Structures are given as structure tokens and as C-alpha cells.
């Protein structure tokens, strides 16, 4: 089986036979968004970071930061976090990490999530910072610094046509065809899945006016701290770098300060798509502009404004934003859709997810 199909692990389909271009192969499981994109995340799914959001809180004067973890989270209502690790929101005030920033951390200890804060947005792997509070998993709490948190098992917020993107990327890379018809069926694979969620709401007075955000997970493995994965923009590795296994590994194991070295991987894949589409006057310039827009891999957000992750604008990301449509449109250079639109599990009220009841 060719390298690009091996890397195209889209959707969480357990024991399903998939037919692509006349080849039948078994994916047990297969993957999407940022599900299982590193060897460590496959081995330790409790630290598999699958999605990240930054958006305006329902509470005036607050900004919400949310991450989804562990796509193997069950349906029994129990969150599935891991001991001996740490979950991080990295909040920078500039793309180069030259100005002030912060990292908000959380780690599991005897059934509680312990929250901490460290100065700087690019601290060493394993940094936990200064503790400011703890609360049992599944509970809400507001700490003395004004930060409000929630954690628990919830219905997966990602909405996407996994089967469609498998067919689309296979045709693009294998046959040199831009087959948007691959999305005609419009089935949202993720509507029946669960994730473990960490939500942190921070008073805007604690934040810079402009922020750049990414998330990461790390664990203590054998005798050292290792980063399991990190992410910001949806589908970065599974679509924009899909044909470059080496760069995907580098991306998940490093931080945004080295992302410029991977710009060619992003622009090259985008260039293939827009050239085949043949609708833009300068495909090379557009492909380079996409790499510059998405790298370093951090989501920009103007604090206190309405978040929106779209083809036209990226300013934070709400759970209800159609991120797969946005990423796909950026990828081909014009507004297109995956036809998956089951946005019925995205409440506008805290904690912005539908918890799975025990």
C-alpha cells in the first residue's frame, strides 16, 4: 500500500472495510482531525490531543480555551485522562514568542485535575507551573484568580465527512484528480463518538489583547518528559502535510518556533490542489500564502471579539464553527463544503459541549 494511504488515517472507524480506488483494506481503527497522529498518541490515547478551541465566553469579560482528548473515551460518562502527564494551553502575545505569554496546565492526580500557570508560552516539555487550584474530574470550579474550569466526558465536537476526505485525498495524491464529488454523501462520522474535555475560562484582564494559541500534551515516559502531540489549526497534518510522513513526525514532536522549516510541506500540497483545480490566477503565490497563514501553527484571536474560523477569516475557533469546511476551502482556494453538517451537539452555554451522562 502506498505511503500516502498509510498516512491518510482519517475518521475513527473500528473494524470497517473501506473501498478506495479498487483496493480493499482494513482500518482498525482509522483516524481524522488530529486523532492518533503520532506513535505515542496511539500507544497512550489518554494523551491524544484531538482538537482545540479559543473563543469568547458566555460570561462577559472572559475567554474560553477548550481541548478535546482521547477519542477512545467510552459512552459510560467517565472522562479518560492519564496520570503522569500534563495538558497545556500555550497563550502567546506574538508568533515569535519574543513578548510576554503564559501556559495554563492541568494534570491528573487521584481523580482530580490540578491546574497551574507558568510564565511564557513555550515552556519546556513537562512544565506544570504554579498551582492555582484543583477540582474533581467532571466538576466545575471557579478559583480565587477568577479562572473557571470544567472537565468531563462529552460528545465529540468535531463535525466532518471522514469517508469523503479519504476519497478526496486519495484521488488528489494518487491519481492527480481534484475529486470534490468524494464529499457528496456528507456523513458526519464523529456524531457518535465521545471525547474527554478540559475547559478553562480566563478573565480577559489577564490576557494580552491579541493572542496566538496552541495546545500540547506531554507524559513522563521511562525516564524523561516527552511531548505526545500538539495542535492548533484543524487538519494541519492530516490534510496540509498528508504526503510527508517525516514532517508530520517533526511537527507533532516540536513546537511552533520551528514551523517555518515545514512551510514547503504545506505549500507543496496546497499547490497540487489549486493547480489541479485551475481556478486561481497564481497558484504558487496562493500556496505560499496558505503556509504563511497557517504557520507557525497557532490560532490567532483578538480577545473580547467574536470568534470565527472560516475560509474568509481566522479569529479564534468556536466548537460550532465548521472547521472542516474552512480547512477544505483554504486547501483548494475557494469556498467548498464536505456536506457534513450535524451541528446539534454544540450548545452556546457553558461548558459548550454536551456531557455524556453516567
pLDDT in tens, 281-323: 999 999 999 999 999 999 999 999 999 999 999 999 999 999 9
pTM of the predicted structure, to 2 decimals: 0.90
Is the distance from CB of 215 to CB of 226 less than 8 angstroms?
no
Question: What is the tally of structural domains in the chain?
Answer: 1
Question: How sure is the predictor about 36, in pLDDT bands with cuts at 50, 70 and 90?
Answer: low
Residue 176 lies in a domain: yes
| Grid coordinates given for 43 | 500507544
- Span 14-37, average pLDDT: 34
Q: Any residues with CB less than 8 A from the CB of 222 and at least 6 apart, and which?
A: none
Residue 216 lies in a domain: yes
Tell me what the pLDDT averaged over the chain comes to.
90
The range of the structural domain enclosing residue 145 comes to 3-332
Tell me if the bond preceding 175 is cis, omega within 30° of 0.
no
Percent of the chain with pLDDT over 70: 89
- Rounded Cα distance, 199 and 115, in Å: 11
Rg (CA), the chain: 19
HEC letters along 169-213: HHHHHHHCCCCHHHHCCCCCHHHHCEEEEEEEEEEHHHCCCEEEE
Percent of the chain with pLDDT over 90: 84
Residue 341 lies in a domain: no
Residue 340 lies in a domain: no
Residue 357 lies in a domain: no
The predicted pLDDT at position 12 comes to 32
Amino acid at each position: 500500500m502506498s505511503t500516502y494511504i498509510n498516512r491518510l488515517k482519517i475518521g475513527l472507524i473500528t473494524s470497517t472495510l473501506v473501498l478506495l480506488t479498487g483496493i480493499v483494506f482494513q482500518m482498525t481503527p482509522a483516524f481524522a482531525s488530529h486523532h492518533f497522529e503520532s506513535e505515542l498518541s496511539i500507544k497512550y490515547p489518554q494523551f491524544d490531543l484531538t482538537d482545540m478551541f479559543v473563543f469568547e465566553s458566555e460570561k462577559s469579560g472572559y475567554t474560553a480555551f477548550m481541548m478535546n482528548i482521547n477519542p477512545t473515551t467510552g459512552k459510560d460518562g467517565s472522562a479518560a485522562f492519564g496520570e503522569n502527564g500534563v495538558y497545556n494551553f500555550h497563550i502567546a502575545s506574538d508568533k515569535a514568542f519574543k513578548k510576554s505569554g503564559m501556559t495554563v496546565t492541568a494534570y491528573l492526580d487521584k481523580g482530580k485535575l490540578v491546574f497551574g500557570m507558568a510564565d511564557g508560552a513555550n515552556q519546556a516539555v513537562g512544565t506544570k507551573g504554579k498551582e492555582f487550584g484543583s477540582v474533581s474530574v467532571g466538576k466545575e470550579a471557579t478559583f480565587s484568580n477568577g479562572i473557571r474550569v470544567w472537565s468531563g466526558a462529552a460528545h465529540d465536537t468535531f463535525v466532518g465527512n471522514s469517508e469523503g476526505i479519504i476519497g478526496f485525498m486519495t484521488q488528489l495524491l494518487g491519481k492527480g484528480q481534484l475529486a470534490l464529488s468524494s464529499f457528496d454523501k456528507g456523513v458526519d462520522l464523529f456524531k457518535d463518538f465521545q471525547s474527554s474535555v478540559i475547559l478553562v475560562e480566563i478573565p480577559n484582564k489577564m490576557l494580552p489583547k491579541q493572542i496566538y494559541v496552541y495546545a500540547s500534551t506531554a507524559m513522563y515516559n521511562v525516564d524523561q518528559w516527552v511531548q505526545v502531540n500538539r495542535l492548533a489549526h484543524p487538519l494541519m497534518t492530516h490534510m496540509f502535510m498528508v504526503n510527508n510522513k517525516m514532517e508530520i513526525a517533526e511537527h507533532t514532536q516540536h513546537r511552533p518556533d520551528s514551523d517555518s522549516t515545514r512551510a514547503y510541506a504545506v505549500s507543496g500540497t496546497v499547490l497540487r490542489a489549486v493547480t489541479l483545480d485551475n481556478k486561481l490566477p497564481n497558484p504558487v503565490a496562493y500556496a505560499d500564502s496558505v503556509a504563511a497563514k497557517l504557520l507557525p501553527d497557532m490560532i490567532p484571536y483578538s480577545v473580547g471579539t467574536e470568534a470565527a474560523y472560516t475560509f474568509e477569516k481566522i479569529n479564534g475557533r468556536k466548537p460550532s464553527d465548521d472547521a472542516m469546511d474552512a480547512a477544505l476551502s483554504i486547501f483548494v482556494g475557494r469556498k467548498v463544503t464536505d456536506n457534513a453538517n450535524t451541528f446539534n451537539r454544540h450548545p452556546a452555554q457553558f461548558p459548550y459541549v454536551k456531557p455524556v451522562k453516567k
